[in-house]
């Protein structure tokens, strides 16, 4: 395994922090034991948990107003893989990378796969892109892609998705994620029903190209880049799609793609109940699709989502994909992804602490107060010792960000990778 | 037919306004004819249109903070029927009344039906009530009704719904509308999936009691009276319900029951496409379920909903129920309902003016500008002459509110019906 | 001091839990000491903290749809005081009660004050009520109160507020809180500017009646019971009011009175900066003015508000009033208020743990990652041992709710106070 | 005057449409006369009305996901001026252009001014840009500009604003508009108060550089590009700024910069009342800062804003600046700006039709129904004949978009201006 961060440094840093960790872990363990919870069992589950990082997430993101790149921006998928390997090395929570085509296209897929293996990284769901025009593209997606009124444009989008499947097959990916920007900006611009019918027809062709052991995840979003209507606007439409396509089709939930105030955990529960929860794009948001670091704005909401996931563990066919999908505009992307992976693990660990038997009793008795308190008690548990112990046991860093900074990785790649000048956003 | 308003007064008022109406109608007709539209054909369709009024709508509504009754509040369903008859007499757009049980329970259903007939009113969908406790009720709905954890409470709610069907059968109603307040106020209070399973089970029993020629409409709502989660929170869950229940089950869309910013017309289109649009509760809102007069806050949104409905006219099995559902806190309820019925007719008339063939061409060509303009042109047409002409031709009033005021109906009933003192809302 | 809960029971319960508490407190103390934080200093500050409970909060709340009373509903302010005394006895965090006039009017204010003293309760801000009509009231507030178009109605509302001041003077209250329901339901109904001018004029008269050592708190709210516009719709208007009135006028922030997505902690910071933060009505909400238990929906937001308050501690003239304002629809109100007082203390304790010097450095260096982590680290600290220790030291209960339940208080008062039947909400 | 569109073509097109226009105008005039309104007086006011177009608006906009340029994209400010001249020639409603620095920087300001004059265009408010980094810029705005923690960066931003004033002076502009992207993405990242203090300090320096006959407009925005907090988040903070700066400082209202559900017309009324309404950036939106064509999503809201403006006409010192600010992603920008200018005129004309004396009486009497109807009656008037007549009388086109299309302007410039390839948005 190629280590991006010197293993000795990781060990030295861990050494420095281990005594406190051991003490905190023991104290927490004793406290949990009072409630009949084995801390080691929880730690084991957390250690076994993994979430995919998006290849594009290791580059600095931007808005339509501007993008402010940082030092050492990755130049291509091989640079990105190395950055992802840092995240996995230190957190041990991100064993796979989710690629985006054509951004991550390479000539030699074998080389790419090999490089992933060398870095200890697998390849998660493939992401297609029909929301941008690429140089030399025959048909523009300005007015849509899979739902375009023009058949040739739809076919081009279908072909692109099938190409993504082909690339994924070579990389042992097992899923295709389809998010489209299709919609309309003005009342009247699109005929909602015909547009959706065209989308369904196109997706059926994509679906037909899925290998037997693959799944397809469709993603809904209320707005942006379309500002009046979107074709896959919410989970209701997303569910209809999954139902129309068939048993390999599932719904993907991005935490930032809903209307204000919407209760996302209920949606998660409904999709689980009806066997159509495909997975998540984790991030956090306050206003729209803000794509902030997971758990940074509303950590309790994240916990409530994981509460549903833990509740469903063991249910037949329940196997949602977990992926981060964020835009890192003002932080070092590697730091944000490490922090976010940690926050997801935190929510998972907290959800594992929920006393489900007791909770179920309170629910049955309509004891709203104690039911609520049962969740809150799990949420307010400081599970950091569990997360740190899981990382240390798996060979990661007790304090990933501090270790990363000490390693000077960012400066190292900045010396190699050329500086990128401040690019304007879409408005210019 | 028993006329609540003196027919001579209506005629005299119409007489006064007829010359101007005829001129405006002729001018509009000439203008529409330039675009190949026959004004008389539109007027005929508008005249044939009807929307149900809710029996409870003729009483002054309130909030949890207070209720400020007006003079002449109806004492019972017979008073309410008379108020509804006023609305129908003057607008000719509200031929039926939607009852709410137990608020409108009577000993003699035959008498009630007869009174409706005498007043020229039919009976639309029956509304059940399992969101309040009635005196002497065995089981409380404090913690839910059809989804309650307690089987006896669920059965009581099922029985009540079946009773509503029975009452409706005697009145020639053909539909049951089910809205529940079930949900939870705190994370953890309810197990989302079990709660929804219980709801589905209960509704299946209600469904089984539906006569062959009846439909059941389930209504979704994002919040209130439950403030953390609701069982039927959005159209996605509502669709699942209709699908689970069977071919007589349909989704009801209340315009004020959605999250902020949600595009309601897309939801309407999706439900039409998948054969599950049951009907509407029309009203308007700016913040939540404000239950304001239809068209008073966002008339363009109302038009866009009707644009979908006109688009779907003629589609097999397409037969949505139209009902007003508003809370009249600061206006005379009769005036608000007359105005709202008129606004619904206005949106319908405007939607009928959309040049659909031309629009379709713009949509196919992605001419977003002209497609948008096509809708806007129809919307900005002042169709008041069409509405007034439809009313006059049907025996109604050219200016319903002015005629109503001149008739002094409110004062007349205030003399008969005892004054109601200001009752507090739910917070006290 | 009259104890509502047997002191022996409290002691016995505490005894049972003390060993675990001592251990947890020591462990947390050790951990905090590593970061240079003295746990005892934090505990001392928490123990000194107090928040007012609203007299109306001890009764079961409701919505416009229904109210479901529980057993032992308080009949009058003396019952309410006893319920409040329970909360204070067990949590030691709620030393005062905020009255609502006319709900809490009594003939003998001396008796009321004495009863408060006997129960160890002071009287916080007085709340006036001009959003409901009282029996026999000369002028209705249906169309407004302090901003009504009619001068006599405005005068009545002014007089009522002055009466509230008079009552408060007798009870050693030092503040008047003014929340009005004034606004409009339809565009056009009110002339925004004239309406606001009338409000300002009326409030100036109220202000003139304020004793020198009193403050007046005005409260903004985006909607409900008015559904199109409100007179004091947001903090911007609220600030204008405080500025117009003078140095004794301040803005009250209710956490549930803002538009969706609004960043409340920025508003708090602005009001502090400009010397006009009067205080809070604490509660939590997901959709609108849901009035749920503080911290039950978004505990991180509550922490962020307290982060601003701790940041401002010591600033000249900074002395905000803290009050709970909730509607307890599905829980025992006493339990909800005890829990909520605890959650407020929790947010305060967590905010006290923020390493402000370090944070300031990260902010200066634009180290968004570490600045964010600094807050998150404080937030995720499980400060329950601090809260419990503060309660125990002050004579309260380590576990208030468990102790309350064991004491059987609710059953005891249910035996004395007559059952209340389910009253309908405002819609009937 | 240099005409971009052949004047003969305009005349010919007008000729074709004049008979119908004359008839419609006469009919509308007759109808309005019944209510005592002189149509010619209204037409005159509409003809005198003017709104500025943003120089950047004539280029195709984009989102962070993509930008899809159209044919004939303007290369520089001289191309943009020509496109703006088309809009003014055909609509006669857009006599001035608002520049954006540095996007519109030129070597020879005299040449620019001359070109404007030749095209019949004046120069409206200058817009500074401190939300993007320009090549070779000494200090990055990644972490803020006027509120940056670093003094040199703040000074750079101040200098840039002063440079904008200098440029504007040479062009006879009389105002500076300041919108900043400053804020934070994570709780803790910025110290709200210190950040705002730095902003105020910097703006005071800018303010000091304002000529006596200039105004400065500050613009608030709830989010984007900052996703947790913004420095000038709402009108409350904006008002504080204007107050702190002095009598030449005013608040700018962009219709898309508010939280969901916020009542913008109340804000407009408040700013007018307190003498701080500087002007508008007109556009429309459904979700966030969607920057859609004005009036395309919620035309009634636009009308309600103009209702406030007409209400305030004649008030001392009342002189708000009107500007369009939109992003044209799927339409020809020239068409969108022509349509939007027309929609603004439409709202103005409709607001002029409001019978204010009658309305005032209904408001005084709390006749909510008739007050609401009074506004609705004005709104539903089809004032297109007034707008078209105002254009024809001023030398513009009766149907601007049809005339523009017939003139083939887009194709003409596409032949001259090089094609632009699809650029990615900020996320790449």
* Any domain includes A155: yes
- Taking only Cα atoms into account, the Rg of chain B, rounded to an integer number of angstroms, comes to 22
pLDDT tens, A108-152?
999 999 999 999 999 999 999 999 999 999 999 999 999 999 999
CA-to-CA distance for D337 and D329, rounded, in angstroms?
12
| Mean pLDDT, residues A364-377 | 98
Nearest by CB: A369 against C31, C331, C384: C331
Please judge whether D260 and B261 are an interchain contact, meaning their C-beta atoms are less than 8 angstroms apart. yes
**pLDDT level of residue A421 (50, 70, 90 thresholds):** confident
A63: its two tokens: 């808005």
Asked whether the bond before D217 is cis by omega within 30 degrees of 0, the reply is no
Whole-angstrom distance, CA of residue C258 vs CA of residue C255: 7
B24 and chain D in contact, CB less than 8 A: yes
What residues of chain B, 130 to 189, have a C-beta less than 8 Å from chain C? 131-135, 137, 140-143, 181, 184-187, 189
Task: Check CB contact under 8 Å for C225 and B330.
Answer: no
> Which residue among C62, C228, C428 sits closest to B286, beta carbon to beta carbon?
C228
Question: Quick check: helix, strand or coil at residue A254?
Answer: strand
C331 and A368 within 8 Å at the Cβ level: the answer is yes
pLDDT for res B390: 98
C422 assigned to some structural domain: no
Phi, psi of B333 (to 5 degrees): -55, -35
pLDDT in tens, A168-209: 999 999 999 999 999 999 999 999 999 999 999 999 999 999
Which of A237, A227, A258, A270 has its CA nearest to residue B270? A237
How much is the pTM? 0.98
Mean pLDDT by groups of 10 residues along chain D of 428 residues: 93 98 98 97 98 98 96 98 98 98 97 98 98 96 98 98 98 98 98 98 98 98 98 98 98 98 98 98 98 98 98 96 98 98 98 98 98 98 98 98 98 96 60
Q: Among D189, D301, D374, which would you mutate to test the C interface (most chain C Cβ atoms within 10 Å of its Cβ)?
A: D189
* Helix, strand, coil in percent for chain B, rounding step 5: 50, 10, 40
Judge: C299–A300 Cβ closer than 8 Å, yes or no. Answer: yes
Cα dihedral A101, A106, A107, A109 sign: negative
Q: What are the angstrom distances between the C-alpha of D91 and each of C76, D47, D52, D99, D321?
A: 68, 10, 12, 20, 18
Whether B372 sits inside 8 A of D261 (CB atoms) is no
C297 vs chain D: nearest CA distance in angstroms? Answer: 18
DSSP letter, residue C327: -
Residue B227 at interface with chain A, using a CB cutoff of 8 Å:
no
D372 within domain boundaries: no
Indicate yes or no: CB of B369 within 8 angstroms of CB of D34. no
> Residue B372: enclosing H or E segment and its boundaries?
helix B368-380
Contact, C152 vs C159, CB < 8 A? Answer: no
Tens of pLDDT, residue by residue over A55-89, are: 999 999 999 999 999 999 999 999 999 999 999 99
Number of domains chain D contains: 1
Q: Is residue C15 part of a domain?
A: no
Scanning every residue of chain B, which has its alpha carbon at the shortest distance from the alpha carbon of C143?
A: B330
CB contact under 8 A, A287 and C261: yes
Do the domain assignments include residue D421? no
Is the CB of D224 less than 8 angstroms away from the CB of A65?
yes
Chain D contact set for C300 (CB, 8 A): 187
List the B175-178 sheet strands across, edge first: B122-123, B96-98, B52-54, B321-324, B277-282, B249-254, B215-219, B175-178, B126-127
**Interface probe, candidates B136, B149, B227, chain C, greatest C C-beta count within 10 A:** B227
Q: Nearest by CB to A304, which of B187, B261, B369?
A: B187
| pLDDT in the model for residue C2 | 85
**What pLDDT does residue B1 have?**
74
Give the nearest chain A residue to C297 (CA atoms).
A300
Closest Cβ opposite residue A186 in set D64, D291, D292: D292
Q: How far is A26 from chain D (nearest CA, A)?
A: 31
Residue C209 is encoded by which pair of tokens?
């009646």
Residue numbers of C between 310 and 339 with CB closer than 8 Å to B: 327, 329-331
Of residues B184, B239, B304, nearest to A187 (C-beta): B304
| Averaged pLDDT for residues C263-269 | 98
Closest CB from B131, B227, B426 relative to C290? B227
Compute the nearest-CA separation of A117 from chain B (Å): 40
Please give the structure tokens belonging to residue D130. 């401190």
Tokens (6 digits) for D331: 């339409």
Chains sharing 3 or more CB pairs under 8 A with chain D: A, B, C
Return the percentage of chain A with pLDDT > 70, whole number. Answer: 98
Q: Would you call C34 and A20 a contact, using CB atoms and an 8 Å cutoff?
A: yes
Q: Does residue B386 fall inside a structural domain? A: no
Tell me if B293 and D368 make a contact (CB, 8 A cut-off).
no
What is the pLDDT at residue D423?
A: 58
Question: Phi/psi of residue C259, each to 5°?
Answer: -70, 160
Residue D110 touches partner C, C-beta closer than 8 Å: no
Contact (Cβ atoms closer than 8 angstroms) between residue C28 and residue C388: no
List the domain range (segments joined by +) for residue C269. 51-354
Instruction: Note the pLDDT of residue B283.
Output: 98
CA distance D35 to D353: 10
Answer yes or no: do A382 and C379 touch at CB < 8 A. Answer: no
Alpha helices in C35-177 (DSSP H): 39-48, 77-91, 109-118, 151-170
Are the C-beta atoms of B58 and B80 separated by less than 8 Å?
Answer: yes
For D239, which residue in chain C has the nearest alpha carbon? Answer: C236
pLDDT value for D427: 54
Q: What is the DSSP-derived secondary structure letter of residue A276? A: -
Contact status of B251 with chain A (Cβ, < 8 Å)? no
Q: How far is C260 from chain A (nearest CA, A)?
A: 7
**pLDDT tens digits for A144-173?**
999 999 999 999 999 999 999 999 999 999
Report pLDDT digits (tens) over C397-410. 999 999 999 999 99
Nearest residue on chain A to B367, alpha-carbon basis = A189
Q: Which of A263, A302, A368 to probe by mutation at the C interface, max C CB count within 10 Å? A: A368
Nearest-angstrom CA–CA distance, D155 and D134:
16
Is B366's CB within 8 Å of A228's CB? Answer: no
> What gap in Å lies between CA D428 and CA C113, rounded to an integer?
67
pLDDT band at A425 (very low <50, low <70, confident <90, very high): low
Shortest distance, CA B40 to any CA of chain C (angstroms)? 33
Distance CA(C369)–CA(C219), nearest Å, equals 35
Residue C428's pLDDT band (cuts 50, 70, 90): very low
Residue of chain B minimizing CA distance to A264 = B229
Binary contact (A368, C296; C-beta < 8 A): no
Number of CB atoms found within 10 A of residue C414's CB: 15
Of D29, D83, D33, give the one whose Cα is nearest residue D54: D83
Using CA atoms in the order D314, D315, D321, D327, what is the torsion angle rounded to 10 degrees? -90
DSSP string, C223-241: SSS-SSEETT-SHHHHHHH
Task: Kindly state the tokens that stand for A170.
Answer: 């070579």
Res B353: pLDDT: 98
Give the mean model confidence (pLDDT) for residues A219-230. Answer: 98
DSSP-derived pairing of the beta strands D215-219 and D249-254: parallel
Residue B304 located in a structural domain: yes
- CA dist C58 and B4 (Å) reads 48
Q: Which of D259, D269, D363 sits opposite C259 (nearest CB)?
A: D259
Calculate how close chain C gets to D223, using CA atoms only, in Å: 10
Chains contacting chain C through 3 or more C-beta pairs under 8 A:
A, B, D
Residue D66 to residue A225, Cβ atoms within 8 A: yes
- According to the 3-state scheme, what is the secondary structure of chain D? CCCCCCHHHHHHHHHHHHHHHHHHHHHHHHHHHHCCCCHHHHHHHHHHCCCEEEHHHHCCCECCCEECCCCCCCCCHHHHHHHHHHHHHHHCCCCEEECECCCCCCCCHHHHHHHHHHCCCEECCEECCCCCCCCCCCCCCCCCCCCCCCHHHHHHHHHHHHHHHHHHHHCCCCEEEECCCCEECCCCCCCHHHHHHHHHHHHHHHHHCCCCCCEEEEECCCCCCCCCEECCCCHHHHHHHHHHHCCCEEEEEECCCCCCCCCHHHHHHHHHHCCCEEEEEECECCCCCCCECCCCCCHHHHHHHHHHHHHHCCCCCCCCEEEECCCCCCCCHHHHHHHHHHHHHHHHHHHHCCCHHHHHHHHHCCCHHHHHHHHHHHHCCCCHHHHHHHHHHCCCCCCHHHHHHHHCHHHHHHHHCCCCCCCECCCC
pLDDT of residue C426 exceeding 80, the answer is no
Nearest CA in chain A to B356: A188
User: With a CB-CB cutoff of 8 Å, which residues 286-305 of chain C face chain B?
Assistant: 286-288, 290-293, 296-297
Chain centroid to Cα B342, Å, comes to: 13
β partners of residue A178: A218
Nearest to C32 by CA among B118, A412, B90, A20: A20
C18 belongs to a structural domain: no
Nearest CA distance, B56 vs chain C (angstrom): 7
User: Cβ A366–B222 below 8 Å, yes or no?
Assistant: no
First to last CA, chain A: 44
Residue D201 belongs to domain with CATH number: 3.20.20.150
Q: Does D382 touch chain B (CB under 8 A)?
A: yes
Q: Which residue has the tokens 């999936």?
A: B193
Q: Kindly report the average pLDDT of chain B as a whole number.
A: 97
Matching residue, tokens 């302090």: C146
What integer is the mean pLDDT of B236-250?
A: 98
């Amino acid at each position: 395994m190629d280590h991006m961060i010197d293993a000795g440094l990781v060990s030295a840093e861990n050494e420095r922090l281990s005594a406190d960790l051991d003490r905190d872990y023991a104290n927490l363990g004793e406290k949990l034991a009072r409630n009949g919870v084995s801390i080691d069992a929880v730690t084991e589950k957390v250690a076994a948990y993994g979430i995919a990082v998006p290849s594009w997430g290791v580059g600095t993101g931007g808005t339509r107003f501007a993008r402010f790149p940082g030092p050492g921006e990755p130049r291509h998928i091989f640079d990105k893989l190395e950055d992802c390997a840092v995240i996995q090395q230190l957190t041990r929570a991100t064993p796979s990378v989710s690629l985006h085509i054509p951004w991550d296209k390479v000539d030699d897929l074998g080389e790419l796969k090999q490089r992933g293996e060398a870095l200890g990284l697998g390849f998660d769901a493939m992401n297609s892109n029909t929301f941008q025009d690429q140089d030399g593209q025959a048909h523009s997606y300005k007015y849509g892609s899979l739902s375009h009124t023009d058949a040739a444009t739809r076919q081009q989008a279908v072909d692109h998705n099938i190409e993504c499947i082909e690339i994924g097959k070579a990389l042992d990916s097992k899923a295709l994620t389809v998010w489209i920007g299709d919609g309309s900006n003005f009342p009247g611009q699109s005929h909602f029903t015909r547009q959706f019918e065209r989308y369904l027809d196109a997706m059926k062709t994509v679906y037909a190209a899925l290998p037997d052991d693959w799944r397809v995840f469709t993603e809904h979003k209320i707005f942006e880049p379309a500002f009046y209507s979107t074709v896959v606007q919410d989970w209701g439409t997303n569910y209809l799609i999954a139902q129309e396509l068939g048993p390999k089709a599932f719904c993907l939930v991005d935490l930032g793609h809903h209307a204000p105030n919407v209760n996302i955990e209920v949606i998660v529960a409904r999709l689980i109940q009806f066997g159509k929860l495909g997975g998540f794009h984790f991030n956090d948001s306050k206003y729209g699709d803000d794509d902030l670091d997971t758990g940074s704005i509303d950590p309790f909401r994240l916990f409530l989502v994981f509460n549903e996931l833990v509740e469903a563990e063991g249910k037949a066919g329940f196997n949602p994909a977990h992926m981060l999908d964020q835009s890192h505009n003002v932080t070092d992307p590697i730091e944000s992804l490490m922090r976010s992976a940690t926050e997801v693990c935190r929510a998972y660990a907290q959800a594992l602490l929920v006393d489900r038997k007791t909770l179920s009793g309170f629910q049955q008795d309509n004891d709203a107060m104690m039911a609520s308190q049962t969740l809150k008690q799990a949420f307010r548990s400081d599970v950091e010792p569990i997360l740190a112990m899981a990382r240390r046991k798996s060979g990661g860093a007790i304090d990933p960000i501090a270790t990363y900074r000490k390693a000077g990785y960012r400066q190292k790649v900045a010396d190699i990778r050329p500086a990128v000048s401040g690019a304007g956003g879409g408005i210019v």
